[in-house]
Amino acid sequence: MILLALSANTSFGGLPVLLKLLARDNYAPHVFALKADRQVHRHGVLALAAVSAALLVFSGGDTNTLVPLFAIGVFVGFTIAQVGMVRHWREERGPGRRGKALLNGFGAALTGVATVVVTASKFEEGAWLTVIALPLLVVAFETVHRAYGRIGERLAPGRVPEPAAP
């Protein structure tokens, strides 16, 4: 229970900010970039609360089902962050960048293997949900990005939009 409480605290602190950044880059609806009166990303918190409630109902409140989902999410996040750091060090021209890139590459390999192991070992216990949800999220983000791209093309400065079809 403590693990889930800590993960919820981390999620509610970080995910709304991540959604704000995705919205800023046109990968999530712009409503997620808005802050409420108390400087909280209200819509991100509400979306996370809805998804959390659905997961609790779906799992019947069974923490043994939710912990593997959390673990997979953590390992996926760590792997992506490590790969991002490898890319960063490849572009950086400072001293020691190769060693840092190797260390981050080793971290990416370890967390990637951990992701695969946890997903495979817990697949029938609920990890299949993550295997389905992550690609669907990527497709959703790309769909939003393309939609904002089309809107941007229509609203380009100096261009008169086509009249709406009747």
Handedness of CA 16, 7, 133, 116 (dihedral sign): positive
On the question of pLDDT at 54 being above 80, the answer is yes
pTM (2 d.p.) = 0.73
Burial 103-128 (b: 16+ CB within 10 A, else e): ebbebbeebbebbeebbeebeeebbe
On the question of pLDDT at 51 being above 80, the answer is yes
On the question of pLDDT at 166 being above 70, the answer is no
Residues 78-132 have pLDDT tens digits of: 999 999 999 999 898 878 888 999 999 999 999 999 999 999 998 888 788 888 8
Question: What does the pLDDT read at residue 161?
Answer: 61
Report the range out of 68-72, 74-78, 105-109 with the highest average pLDDT. 105-109
3-state secondary structure (DSSP) of residue 60: coil
Contact 82, 108 (CB under 8 A): yes
Question: What does the pLDDT read at residue 116?
Answer: 94
Question: What does the pLDDT read at residue 73?
Answer: 85
Q: From CA 81, how far away is CA 63, in angstroms rounded?
A: 27
Percent of the chain with pLDDT strictly greater than 70: 89
3-state secondary structure (DSSP) of residue 12: helix
Contact 97, 89 (CB under 8 A): yes
Q: From CA 28, how far away is CA 144, in angstroms rounded?
A: 6
Confidence of residue 142 (pLDDT cuts 50, 70, 90): very high
Q: From CA 25, how far away is CA 149, in angstroms rounded?
A: 11
Question: What does the pLDDT read at residue 141?
Answer: 94
